Structures are given as structure tokens and as C-alpha cells.
Amino acid sequence: MNRIPTPEGLSFFLYVVLVAAIWSMTCFATANSDSFISGEHRETTEKQEQKPSFDLTHEERLWLKNHPQIRFAPAPNYPPVEFFDDDNVYRGITADFIKHINDRFSIRFRILQFKNWGEVVTQTKQRNVDMWGAAAKTKERSEYMNFTKPYIRLPAVIIVRKDVSGRLTMPDLKDKQIVVIRNYATQEYIEEKYPSLDLVPVPDIETGLRMVSFGVADSIVATNASAIYYIEKNGFTNLRVAGESGYEWRLCFGIRSDWPELVSIIQKCLDSISEDEKKAIYRRWISLEAPSWKMSRGQIIALLFVLAAVGIIGILIWNIMLQKKVETRTKQLRSTLKERSLILKNAQIGIAYIKNRKVRWINPMLAFQSGMDEKDVIGKSAGVFFLSDADYRRVDEAYIETLGQGAPYETDILLQRGEKDNYWCRLICQSIDSENVHEGSIWLMDDITAQKQLEQYLTKLATIDHLTGACNRRHFIDLGQKEIKRSNRLQSHLSLLMLDIDHFKLLNDNYGHATGDEALKFFVDKVQSILRSHDILGRIGGEEFAVLLANTDRRAGRNVADRIREEIASSSFVSNGKKISFTVSIGIAHEKNGEINLEELLDLADKALYKAKNRGRNRVATAADRS
């Protein structure tokens, strides 16, 4: 009598068939793989035998003898091209090329480590650096550096936050803040090709990616390989590549312009390295596409046979085990629903179920962070969480459109907390059915007030002088450069005042530094009481300040300076029971239509300030005045 196979017996038979099929296909794949590797090895050997010879002229060998050590400065934070790891070891694609040149051709390099690329450029211009490892040839750099032929090519891409949808091009970034790495070739490229774009130079790519991730800037233009390295390293999961910038990094070795012999030597070194050796270096740092593998006719027939057998056996097993699985799944579903109910109720993030724009359910955490009782919220409009009807309508329109496309909606927004308070919330909405959004959606509502406060504090810390509350020098220069660009677009006037408290050292010596600090804060308060809201006041250094007056012609600028001087001279403050007064000297420079840059304008105002001091202080002088 024939016996019906049990589910356990059929499962074991199916397992044996699958193992046999996988083993057969693995044998085929291994044979093909071995064949490929052998072919690759033969091709590599042939290319190495045909490798160009390395032949230096007598003059070049003599030059190397007279220059036994080359001062080499890499870009300190440019992985995977070149960078210093946590142990300050020089690594990357270019580092492997340098090691190759050093080992094979006995050219000795002294590796110099600097803080950022801007410092590398500065030291190079001062001839404290002889050679760069991975740099793009630009018009400005060609004034003091010579370059080999490019040996690495990398595209520069546009990176934005994931809440910015669609593909982007450079013109799409108009009126957006675009982060670029200071002194990198991409900055020069964008300034030349897209002069109207608003650039924010930063010292390194990691800082730039952090600014975009935190929302301090809108986008960053950088090489794709380096960006991916830092995104994975720092966990910037809210960033994405939105498009190409149109610029391709063609990286060369750069050599100081007064050493043409070294350019020829390094180029010969590069030319003598075989293509296989170069590919081995690239493969170590950048994944290269593997050769495709195609199944043979026999493999296809064997696979079809195995699939047919598996299909028949699967149908038999399914028919036998169906009822048992249904019973098991029903029990598991009940258990899962109970577990999920407990998880939702105890989740440390606010959760709401919204149906037909009304609140159907909220968890205890959302009730706590919104300051609302569950019984007072259920059945009401989802707008109950928002500060105003306008905020709710704006979010409702945006999230309905996004959810209808099958994508989650995410935004940061101020929401209601109790009757009089509010809090920052990261709202994430996901539809249960994208074709019928109103039938139900889940809202995750995370209280990010502490994060927002930290971001605001960090922004203030980076831009504001902690003592006086005025802009620090760096922030003043950034704002000033933007204002000059705006003045150029609008064809308007600009006035810049340079202010210096008279005899401030004597004030410090006579009354102490604490009183001096009070004097600086008193001075800034008086100046700001005269300025307009859009005028820019910055502390340039010590007791020296600068004021940028937008849309202000020569006469109006002089009037503001006279008012400031008179207000300071006629005012005083009390410190330690003593009445303190002082005066200020002011220099004025004027600019129209963006004809000069901020550095030149500051220099003119500074010279005018010295005129005011030389005439007896407590005076106002302009750059056009005769000495």
C-alpha cells in the first residue's frame, strides 16, 4: 500500500533538490570564474611586459640629485582620493601613487599635513610647499603652479536633503545657499559660470554636508565619491544626490611653477605605470564593475528542470500544509496585534491615526507632548495639533499631494502644546492606501525642540560676537560679500563705516578690562539704536567695528556717521560708581554698482579712519577727503 508523503518528508526532499541544483550551478560559475581570472592574469602579464620604460634625461637626474626631498602637501580631507586617517597616516588613491613612485623611482617625498585645503594653498603660494597630489587645474592656480596630465576623473554632483524632490541643475539653485569647499576648483568654476548663485565657502566637505543635513544651507556641490564616504561615515541619512553640476574634477599632480623639471619627471613616472597597476590602485578605493556572467545553454536547461520540479513539489506541499498554516498564522496574527498594540502605546514618539482629516486614535506619548487629553482630541479635526488654521491648511495640501504619489510626507513645524505653549515637531505622515489617502494615514510626531534649540545656539555661536552681540568678523564678511553682490544686481549705492573707540587702551588701563567690556557693549547698543534693521554691524577686532549701510549714498552715509559720533560723544555709562565717557573716530568708504569688492572697501574705510585719528580723533573722515 502506497503511503502519502508527510510534510516533513516533502520538505526534506525539496531541500535535497535545491542543494543539488545550487551545487551544479556553482560548479559552472566557478569554472567560468576561474577562466576569467586566468585570462585576466595573462592579460595583466602581457601589459606589464609592454609597460613603457622610465627614462630620465641627464639634466633631470642631476636636478633630482640637487633636490633630494620634495615637500608634498595633500588635501587633508578628500577621501577616497587622499586624506589622513585617525592615526594621521596619509592614505587614498593618490597616496598609493606616491608610494608607487617613491618605491620604484626613489623620489623622496616629505609629507606635510595641514589643517585644511585653504592652508595648503596659502603655504604653497609662500613656497613652503613644492607639490600637490590631487588638484584640478584652474586659471588662478596656473599663476603659481604647473600640472601633469589628469590621472583621476571624478564628477561634481549636487547634494540636497531628501525633502527636496526631483532632479536639479545648477540654474535651479538660484536664491538657494550653495556650500562649496573654499579654494577648491568647484568654487572657481561656479563663480565664473554662475556668478549670481549664493555660495557659502567652508573649510572641508564634512562641514558642508553637516550644514546641509542640519538645514543651515540648501545644497552642496562636491565629488560623488567623497560625499558618499562622509555620508556613510557620519550617518547623514537625510541627504541625496539631486543632479550633476556640469563640472568634472580632472585631478593632476601640481608642482610649483619655478620647477618645470619636476613636472616632466613626475609625468614620466605616471606614464611608466601600467594600466593594470593603475586599475589595481583604483580598485582598492573605488568599486569597478565586474565582468558580466552569462548562463550557458546547459545551465538554462538544468535550471528550468529544477524549477519545474520545485514547482510541482511546492504545489503538493502547499495543498497538504495549507490548513495547518492558516491556523498557525491566525494565532501569530492575534499575538502580533497584541504586541504591536503594546508597542504603540509605550512608544517614545507621538503617534496618531488620522482618517478623513479627523483624529481616530493617539498614543499616550502624543497626548503628553501636546498637552492634550485623548478624550478631548478623538473625533476632532487634525488641525487641533497646529498653531493656526493656515499652518494646518498648508501641511494638509502638501501631505495629501505627497501621500497620493505613494511617498511619505515629512516636515519640521511648530505645533501647539497646551493652550499657550508650542514645540518643534518633526512630522512624518504615511498613507495606508495611496489611492485613497483620506481613508487613513499614520502620523509620527517627534518632539525635536531640543535639537532645534541646539541648532540655533550653534548658528549663533558661529556668527555672533559673544561679548557685544554684533556679528563676528567672519559673519560680517560673509554678509558683506552677499550685500555687495546684491548692490551690483540692483545698481545701488553702498556705504561702509569703520569705527574705532578713541584711546580704548587708556580706558582699559585706567578702569580695568571689565569696564572696558562694558564700554564695548554700551558702544554697540548706542550704534544699533541709530542703525536700520537691515544694516550690518560687525566687530572686526578689539575696539574696532564696521557698519555696512545698504542702499545708502555718500551723503546719507556721512549723516549716519555724524549721528553715531555725536551720540557717543554726548553719552556716558556708570561702572563701579564712576561715570565713564569716550569718543569714536569714523572712516567712510563709498561704493556703487558693485564696482569694488569688500576687501577693497574695508581698506578704503580703514585709511579714512586713520585720517580721522590723525586730525585729532572724535572725527569723521571719508576716503575721498584730502589728507
Q: Are 212 and 164 in contact (CB under 8 A)?
A: no
What cell was used for 476? 560680517
Q: What is the pLDDT of residue 97?
A: 93
Handedness of CA 469, 472, 478, 484 (dihedral sign): positive
Residue range 68-289, CATH number:
3.40.190.10
Q: Which of 422, 402, 403 is nearest to 414 (CA)?
A: 422
Q: What is the pLDDT of residue 26?
A: 46
Q: What is the pLDDT of residue 6?
A: 52
Q: What is the pLDDT of residue 290?
A: 40
Q: What is the pLDDT of residue 47?
A: 40
Q: What is the pLDDT of residue 14?
A: 52
Buried b (16+ CB within 10 A) or exposed e, 135-166: bbbbeebeeebbbbebbbebebbbbbbeebee
541: buried, middle or exposed (CB in 10 Å: 19+, 13-18, 0-12)? exposed
For the chain, which residues make up each domain, given as ranges?
A: 1-50+310-346, 68-289, 348-453, 464-622
Q: Which of 574, 571, 575 is nearest to 618 (CA)?
A: 571
Q: pTM for the complete prediction?
A: 0.37
Angular region, 36: left φ>0, alpha ψ -120 to 50, beta rest: alpha
Q: What is the pLDDT of residue 119?
A: 94
Give pairs for 202-210: CB < 8 Å, separation 24+.
Answer: 203/115, 203/116, 203/117, 203/118, 204/76, 204/77, 204/116, 204/117, 205/77, 205/78, 205/181, 205/230, 206/77, 206/230, 206/234, 208/179, 208/180, 208/181, 209/159, 209/234, 209/236, 209/239, 210/234, 210/236
Q: Are 403 and 441 in contact (CB under 8 A)?
A: yes
Q: Which of 435, 359, 437 is nearest to 398 (CA)?
A: 437
Q: What is the pLDDT of residue 471?
A: 93
* Strand pairing report for 82-84 and 77-78: antiparallel
Question: Rg of the Cα trace of the chain?
Answer: 34
Residues of the chain with pLDDT under 50: 1-5, 7, 10, 16-17, 21, 23, 25-53, 288-293, 626-627
Handedness of CA 261, 263, 269, 271 (dihedral sign): negative
Q: How far is CA 571 from CA 469, 506, 525, 527, 619, in A?
A: 20, 18, 12, 12, 16
Q: What is the pLDDT of residue 187?
A: 87
Q: Which of 446, 448, 442 is nearest to 352 (CA)?
A: 442
Right CATH number for 464-622 from 3.30.70.270, 2.60.120.10, 3.40.50.620, 3.40.50.300? Answer: 3.30.70.270
Q: Which of 592, 501, 596, 567 is nearest to 540 (CA)?
A: 501
* CATH architecture type of domain 348-453: 2-Layer Sandwich (3.30)
74: buried, middle or exposed (CB in 10 Å: 19+, 13-18, 0-12)? buried
Q: What is the pLDDT of residue 49?
A: 39
Q: Which of 323, 270, 289 is nearest to 151 (CA)?
A: 270
Instruction: Give 204's contacts (C-beta < 8 A, 6+ positions apart).
Output: 76, 77, 116, 117, 181
Q: Are 432 and 442 in contact (CB under 8 A)?
A: yes
Buried b (16+ CB within 10 A) or exposed e, 316-332: ebeeeeeeeeeeeeeee
What cell was used for 616? 585729532
SS3 breakdown of the chain: % helix, strand, coil, rounded to 5? 50, 25, 25
Residue 195 CA to its chain's centroid (Å): 21
**Is-cis flag, bond preceding 408, omega within 30?**
no
Q: What is the pLDDT of residue 51?
A: 42
Handedness of CA 510, 511, 516, 521 (dihedral sign): negative
Amino acid present at 68: P
